[in-house]
Chains A and B, each alone.
Chain A
Amino acid sequence: MSLRTDQSLIAKWIKPNSRVLDLGCGDGTLMAYLQKNQHVSGYGLEINEENIVQCIHKGVDVIQTDLDKGLSEFNRESFDYVIMTQTLQAIYYPDKLLKEMTRVGREAIVTFPNMGHWKNRLQLALTGRMPKSKTLPYEWYNTPNIHLFTLADFERLCAKISIRILDRSTVDNEHHSSLSMKLFPNLLGEIAIYRFQQKN
């Protein structure tokens, strides 16, 4: 079972034996890893049937859920962490879901493709067309990624909806990190990873 780098960064941020809710858990790889290696418990939420079967195969408890309908099933602070990898950009109301994540979890973690990466900026500037990349391979008309944004956009939204950012990291497409990326995350980071919680 191998994790993507953004997933292994998340795994490092999660304390052993905690309760985790994984939004858009895909085939359950991350939850299965966390269950096995960090003894976490919890559920994955997923909409795709094939992915749900894969979760069951891996022994991950999975609830078929449309994340656009919110997390009203879950009580306030019923999980230590609510996590969501590479899904926020495909959600109808990202602001509402981020608030929901910080209601249900004591902490929340998201990863997302950074539209502010220099290659995206350059493509738009030079060709005048919507950027495509390894992380964003779709055409504008068939992409599930309906809300593309940058690190700066994300941080501005967090400030607006009373979310406190606890940690930030970025990686490139090969999921490597570097010193320059730490210095200029919005320019050099292709995938962003944030840990955050509700302001008191």
Chain B
Amino acid sequence: MQKSTRPVDDIGLVEPKTKHFSGTLALASGSELHGFDIVYETYGKLNKECSNAILICHALSGDHHVAGYHTPQDKKPGWWDNIIGPNKTIDTNRFFVVSPNNIGGCSGSSGPLTINPVTGSSYGPNFPLVTVKDWVKTQAMLADKLGVDVWTVIIGGSLGGMQCLEWSISYPNRVKNTFIIAAAPKLSTQNIAFNEVSRQAIRSDQNFNEGNYYESDNKPELGLMLARMLGHITYLSDDALDEKFGRELRDGEIKFGYEAEFQIESYLRYQGRAFVDRFDANSYLLLTKALDYFDPAGDTEGSLSKAMAPATAKFMIISFSSDWRFSPERSQEIVSALLEANKCVSYIEIQSTQGHDSFLMPIPRYHQVIKTALDRIAKGLDL
């Protein structure tokens, strides 16, 4: 792709970087990692005062490739390219944006696919279970290496929003502002139930072999595909699915068989297959567990406002009207706790039709809210 064909607010070609951390990392589970890598991308420049750094925390199936393109041949940019770039809502002319891939994932940071230095073969199912707390800890270690003492903003949607919440509790002096989008203070019973069905789909795949499938030609693709199909339904709203596909048939008529007949069936199968090409089943299992375990109020007798007591950041909480996976009520639980704890907090519910996935969409009001808040922060910093 020629540079001239790209829009001016495009970030262009970007290159992932890797930092290695030697030594032993103690995890929340009690397990240890003997050295690990974090893959990350950065956009924009850290200023002299080191005051303009923004951390992007990714969700379940996200990664470090948030904006721009890796090669001129890439058909798609990073997963949140619509918001990050020169003169975009998160303006890389003003801010230094950092996006790490969390450990346990499968996009380059240490995870099940990585070689275990102790055994010399890949971790596979033996990669220890990690938690949101562990992720935040490793992100803080990356921040140290990048020379970022304090994030001016930490932004995350969904599971990324949970990392923002954890940052504000674990490292209150290292976060000025947190934007928590389409998140929840912990998973509901129903959320955990969905995750369990996903995990069982993977674990009961005949190719799963207790997670030892890397050497095999047959991978648990069917299980992972089913897990993604289920997840995908919960990310979209009933209305959005109905509007996009309705009861439309692929061939215009019912054929009385089990091939994909309705458009929604072929769409889900396509989404499932595409996911299998870029994701690892062991990672998926591990990441859904991290979601299930997240509950900061668990350390404070179930009181989220007590859990939030150490936080000094300003909070912006954003929810979406059509999101039923992490509904506006779940965001309001966070807001209530912050109000009770006398924290600085703003809250808005954005009208949307696209369900949980709304947080990835360029909804004008949504981006306007973030831009307005960032403009004010930039002004305060003389950026």
Contacts and interface: CB of A to CB of B under 8 A. Distances in A.
Interface of A: 43, 49, 52-53, 55-57, 59, 61-64, 73-75
B338 to A, nearest CB: 9
Nearest to A56: B372
Nearest to B318: A64
A2 to B, nearest CB: 21
B347 A64 contact: yes
B346 A62 contact: yes
A53 B339 contact: no
Contacts of A64: 347-349
Given A49-B351, A63-B346, A63-B347, 13 more contacts: A43-B339, A52-B348, A53-B365, A53-B369, A56-B376, A57-B372, A61-B314, A61-B344, A62-B346, A63-B345, A73-B336, A73-B339, A74-B339
B373 interface: yes
A55 B376 contact: no
B335 interface: yes
29 contacts: A43-B339, A49-B348, A49-B350, A52-B346, A52-B348, A52-B369, A53-B365, A53-B368, A56-B316, A56-B346, A56-B369, A56-B372, A56-B373, A56-B376, A57-B376, A61-B314, A61-B345, A61-B346, A62-B346, A62-B347, A63-B335, A63-B346, A63-B347, A64-B347, A64-B348, A64-B349, A73-B335, A73-B336, A74-B339
Contacts of A49: 348, 350-351, 365
Specify the main secondary structure of chain A where it touches its partner: mixed
B340 interface: yes
Contacts of B369: 52-53, 56
Interface string B202-243: 000000000000000000000000000000000000000000
A53 B340 CA distance: 23
B37 to A, nearest CB: 38
A52 B319 CA distance: 14
Nearest to B349: A64
A75 B373 CA distance: 28
Q: Find the residue from B335, B344, B347, B351 having the highest chain A CB count within 10 A.
A: B347
A63 B339 contact: yes
Contacts of B350: 49
A61 B344 CA distance: 6
A98 to B, nearest CB: 21
Contacts of B376: 56-57, 59
Interface in B338-364: 339-340, 344-351
Contacts of A74: 339
A64 B349 CA distance: 7
A181 to B, nearest CB: 38
Contacts of B344: 61
A57 B377 CA distance: 10
Contacts of B339: 43, 63, 73-74
A73 B347 CA distance: 13
B337 to A, nearest CB: 10
Interface string B20-40: 000000000000000000000
